[in-house]
């Protein structure tokens, strides 16, 4: 009973931390779209060398080790960047560095799958092209789970706050309950979206099969 009361007491604090996980994942997803879509167009360029280089770049980016990238981004990227010719500095927060690292997987996925969707759209197969949408959402959910790695570079997200709760209460026996409770945050966020994506994907796949049969 005491454990449950402790978890409920710290729930707002943990929820705020999970909000950062969502922000990181969403930012990574947007970066993935912003860079992946143009790369997909380049992969289908008429110039063979452009298409070839773009395809290789997409493959390399897709399989970059995300966990290692988080460390590289956190260490190598400066905390502030001064704009050339201006006396203005832009701060680069650690959470954004993590999002940038996680976006690598998104860029690779988007470029490869949007290229397929683009080709299907040009051929008049809209349902097949729209399969890109549930695929991208699945990628976003994977990134949301991977955002828990942000704790290793000091981002004050859910996992990091779990450690804070354990340290603040001084109860090491809370470790398992707190982490299990944190996993429920991810489950409650990801499961409904995953279920909706499955429904959407099944519906679009049925349309693709119908179009091919017709």
Distance CA 120, CA 123 (A): 5
Whole-model pTM: value is 0.90
Task: Please determine, for residue 117, whether its predicted confidence score (pLDDT) is greater than 80.
Answer: yes
Mean pLDDT of 32-48: 91
Residue % of the chain over a pLDDT of 90: 45
Distance CA 157, CA 70 (A): 14
Higher pLDDT, 127 or 98: 98
Question: What is the full DSSP assignment across 130-167?
Answer: HTHHHHHHHHHHHHHHHGGGGGGGT--SHHHHHHHHHH
- Where are the extended beta strands (E) located within 44-175? 80-82, 89-91
Distance CA 172, CA 182 (A): 16
Segments making up each domain of the chain, as ranges: 2-213
Higher pLDDT, 183 or 79: 183
Distance CA 20, CA 115 (A): 31
Residue range 78-113, pLDDT digits in tens: 888 877 766 777 888 999 999 999 999 899 889 988
2-213 adopts what CATH topology?
Answer: MetI-like fold (1.10.3720)
Task: Please determine, for residue 3, whether its predicted confidence score (pLDDT) is greater than 90.
Answer: no
Distance CA 109, CA 152 (A): 25
């Amino acid at each position: 009973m005491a454990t449950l009361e402790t978890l409920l007491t710290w729930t707002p604090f943990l929820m705020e931390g999970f909000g950062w996980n969502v922000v990181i994942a969403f930012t990574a997803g947007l970066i993935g779209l912003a860079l992946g879509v143009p790369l997909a167009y380049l992969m289908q360029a008429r110039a063979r060398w452009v298409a070839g280089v773009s395809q290789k770049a997409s493959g390399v980016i897709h399989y970059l080790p995300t966990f290692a990238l988080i460390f590289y981004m956190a260490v190598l990227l400066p905390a502030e960047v001064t704009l050339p010719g201006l006396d203005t500095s832009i701060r680069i927060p650690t959470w954004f560095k993590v999002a940038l690292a996680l976006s690598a997987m998104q860029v690779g996925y988007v470029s490869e799958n949007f290229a397929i969707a683009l080709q299907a759209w040009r051929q008049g197969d809209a349902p097949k092209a729209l399969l890109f949408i549930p695929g991208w959402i699945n990628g976003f959910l994977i990134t949301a789970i991977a955002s828990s790695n942000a704790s290793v570079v000091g981002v004050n997200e859910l996992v990091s706050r779990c450690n804070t709760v354990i340290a603040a209460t001084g109860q090491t026996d809370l470790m398992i309950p707190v982490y299990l409770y944190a996993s429920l945050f991810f489950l409650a966020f990801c499961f409904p979206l995953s279920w909706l994506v499955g429904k959407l994907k099944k519906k679009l796949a049925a349309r693709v099969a119908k179009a091919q049969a017709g």
